[in-house]
Amino acid sequence: MASSRLNISTTHATVIGDLIEEVSAEFDSYIDRNLAARRYTETVPSFDGSLYLRLSQAPIVTTGATVVVVHTPIGSTTGSTIASTSYDVLSSLGMIYSATGWDYSGVWRGNISPDRYVRSERENFSVTYTAGYSLPSTASAVGADLPLTIRSAAIKTVGQWFNDLGFEQSASAFRSIRTEDFEVQAWAPDEGGAVGVMKAGYGELDDGVMRILDRFRLDL
């Protein structure tokens, strides 16, 4: 797909494949989570008065994949699975919501008027879940649909890095790549017919791409 959108010869398929992997890794690093769908098991604490368990990945997949929450009380080595009907999955936020709250996992202090000891919370909930997107290279994998903005940003970056490596392709092809945030102009030919200067170099993300990716960071 990237080759055809960028008007790049299929003789460079290996290079494009490598660049797609590099761009995907750079996107993951920038937003500090994995875009490709995969299975996770995390242990997380419950905080004072909180109705939410916060996970490190999103979106949580609820179609074709299960979410399992296991609670192990403080001082116990045996956990019990919490009924899925007792909580809601907030997919895009990477959170598990309980209207009645989660069992406090911290330490109490004091005898007459016990109080919660701040930052003493222990990880007494285990959550097994699938999160991420179904990428073009793993179309059969269970995952949420990849947002068009991320797809377009990835194609733009692959083309930019391809040019920075010294390869050539039709600059006019980039005029058709648009998202709601930016229009690709860096590749448009100048008056002399030469390809214009890129906004960012190989291995770097330009401002337009970073603005898009900023939406997909999780506030942990």
Q: What is the pLDDT of residues 186-219, one digit of tens each?
A: 344 444 444 444 456 788 898 999 999 999 988 6
Which residues on adjacent β-strands are paired with residue 189? 195
pTM of the model: 0.72
Q: Are 132 and 38 in contact (CB under 8 A)?
A: yes
Q: What is the pLDDT of residues 69-95, one digit of tens each?
A: 999 887 788 899 999 999 999 999 999
Quick one: which H or E segment has residue 160?
helix 148-164
DSSP 23-65: HHHHHHHHHTS--B-EEEEEEE---TT--EEE-SS-SBP-SSS
Is residue 144 helix, strand or coil? strand
What number of other Cβ atoms are within 10 A of residue 17's Cβ?
A: 14
Q: What is the pLDDT of residues 132-153, one digit of tens each?
A: 998 876 655 688 889 999 999 9
Q: What is the pLDDT of residues 89-133, one digit of tens each?
A: 999 999 999 998 887 766 556 565 556 555 556 778 999 999 999
User: How confident is the model at residue 177, as a pLDDT?
Assistant: 38
